[in-house]
Structure 1
């Protein structure tokens, strides 16, 4: 699509991945720390309603922008990089129906900013919006956790409070960042549901098992609710036990969609195809008196995998259970990261067979399931998947 000399690329175009990576390369990747990372551009940008905008002259790239949705659905944030000055970043708010417009409202992007007052604190850990030094630490921590190259890390300008396309939080022990959470505004659903796309969260390994991830997510939900956002969504590896127990067991989120080989990169946490579950979480949270909360509590207290419900797999082996069970348990590794490092062949069998199982089982059709909980039983970790009945869909709507 062409707008006044600018070309707008949507994710549905077959040439989008190649064009986006070519633009990133021309703008200085992998050595330009201001660029959005390639895995975000490839897998998430257009899914949240973003786009790639280019302007060429005599077949040479002159200007390019990655456009991000903002809290105003009629306005996008154009993140511009000039081809002759790839290190320079310029943020401009423009009308969504004129994405290539050279004019617009300039967003002053500071290089230094102070942290906002902490919104929550417990056990010597404070949760709040980051300052510029915290943003640098969060970027470094992301690299340490995932052992990722600099090009795969999110730029620090996304953590600035003036950025209208993102929402960020950090967990602090003194002045040390020990956890971070970064999300993006998404275009509303067709039914008007407003959405925050929670893109990346990490906790320093030295500070895990202290509830930091739960506190970050709860504060994110509070901030989103104050902005009128209805739902938070993200993706998670179905084979990461800690993530499953947090998302489904602690937060009360659910999943009805599986995305095989979703992310293009490989790192220490993803040595095999990076398949993902699409996680959905209602911002209003769970009141313990609600019907959904009572349903979840009953499920957790009554379920005994292998006794009250069939187990769909024996480790990496799909057991091909009979369709129609109202509840099934799906075993996942207790330590997926360690398994990838110690026995890649067995890890590959887990990934291949669980991909097939989840692709077949998840959805809203007949004999399909929603993942709604996760439990530990006799040292084994299970996802709990409930049949997608009209009543269950009503509870999670």
Structure 2
């Protein structure tokens, strides 16, 4: 692998290569991908279409469009007062994952947004996908206080029969929090330190045949810092036991909707290995008034 270069896509061959990355990375059928001609047209009209190149080969890309923040009851005479970027999709070929390619693409998207005067980028992802949680919340410094039920409607494949709930995250690109991540000054938090400091674990999982089970109930008493456990490998649960995946969806939906309604904000992500050597994953939430 030569040095990866991040730059805008420029040719129809590169737009077509972005189609293939959608197929490979997300296993998307033809009807669901964003076609090359649409990517080109939207980039021409100001969208952020950035690629990671190994030599001349496109190995990953990120695509963002301009939008506006919905503020009910508020009318702004100038649309720029509510301007944001919506990050539609990002993907990296499997053989280039875990090599900071996605990280570089997102921070190139941040640079693009700053150059045009946009402070906020939003996107959605499945909150039960721990790898994405660690990347979006932990490594990038996004935050979340909005839960979207069944956002994409019914889907096929491993998602068939499972509600497509999503976190809508906010990435405030000019914040000190994000600047620290850009400088790679973020250090993963330790579960033991958080618990010793008074953080409250809401929903400790148990295990059966190697699969994590959500508890029948969860802790609801208030604390300024709350930890919510999610499966470390939700894809494995979907393959092994759809009913269990549905239980995790409903369980965490109830928790996050209730906590967001009570003023909590997802602020970080915690990875942990328990005494039995099992990987565990948690979101850290803080009350916005604390």
TM range (shorter): 0.7 to 0.9
Name the residue aligned to 1:274: 164
Structure 2: distance between partners of 1:288 and 1:274: 28
Structure 2: distance between partners of 1:362 and 1:263: 21
Secondary structure class of the residue paired with 2:201: coil
Q: Which runs of 5+ in 1 are unaligned?
A: 1-121, 392-397
- 1:170 Cα shift? 1.4
Secondary structure class of the residue paired with 1:245: helix
Structure 1: distance between partners of 2:191 and 2:153: 39
Name the residue aligned to 2:176: 286
**In structure 2, which of residues 277, 283, 286 is the aligned counterpart of residue 383 of structure 1?**
283
Name the residue aligned to 1:125: 4
Structure 1: distance between partners of 2:178 and 2:14: 35
Name the residue aligned to 2:250: 352
Alignment of 1:162-173 (within 5 A): 163-173=44-54
- 1:179 Cα shift? 1.2
The answer as to whether partners of 1:129 and 1:170 remain within 8 angstroms in 2 is yes
Structure 2: distance between partners of 1:377 and 1:146: 27
Greater per-residue helix proportion: 2
Structure 2: distance between partners of 1:310 and 1:134: 48
Name the residue aligned to 2:66: 185
**In structure 1, which of residues 110, 121, 140 is the aligned counterpart of residue 20 of structure 2?**
140
Spell out, residue by residue over 1:98-118, the C-alpha distance to the aligned partner (whole angstroms, 9 max, x if none).
Answer: xxxxxxxxxxxxxxxxxxxxx
Name the residue aligned to 1:225: 114
The answer as to whether partners of 2:190 and 2:271 remain within 8 angstroms in 1 is no
Moved over 6 A (4+): 287-290, 296-299
User: Which structure would you say has the larger RCO, counting Cα contacts within 8 Å and 6 or more residues apart?
Assistant: 2
Which deviates more, 270-279 or 250-259? 270-279
Secondary structure class of the residue paired with 2:176: coil
The answer as to whether partners of 2:142 and 2:171 remain within 8 angstroms in 1 is yes
Structure 1: distance between partners of 2:170 and 2:202: 23
Alignment CA distance shift 1:345-1:278 (3 Å): same
Alignment of 1:47-196 (within 5 A): 124-130=3-9, 131-160=11-40, 163-187=44-68, 192-196=81-85
Which deviates more, 342-351 or 197-206? 342-351
Structure 1: distance between partners of 2:173 and 2:200: 32
The answer as to whether partners of 1:185 and 1:197 remain within 8 angstroms in 2 is yes
| TM-score, structure 2 normalization | 0.81
- 1:163 Cα shift? 2.3
Q: CA RMSD of the aligned region, Å? A: 2.8
Name the residue aligned to 2:96: 207
Secondary structure class of the residue paired with 2:221: coil
1:325 aligns with 2:230: no
Structure 2: distance between partners of 1:167 and 1:181: 8
The answer as to whether partners of 1:305 and 1:377 remain within 8 angstroms in 2 is no
Name the residue aligned to 1:263: 152
Q: Which runs of 5+ in 2 are unaligned?
A: 206-213, 274-278
The answer as to whether partners of 2:191 and 2:272 remain within 8 angstroms in 1 is no
Structure 1: distance between partners of 2:92 and 2:66: 22
Secondary structure class of the residue paired with 2:268: strand
Alignment CA distance shift 1:299-1:322 (3 Å): farther
Spell out, residue by residue over 1:277-330, the C-alpha distance to the aligned partner (whole angstroms, 9 max, x if none).
Answer: 11001122436998x99xx96993686455442211133225421332111111
The answer as to whether partners of 1:203 and 1:213 remain within 8 angstroms in 2 is yes
- 1:207 Cα shift? 1.3
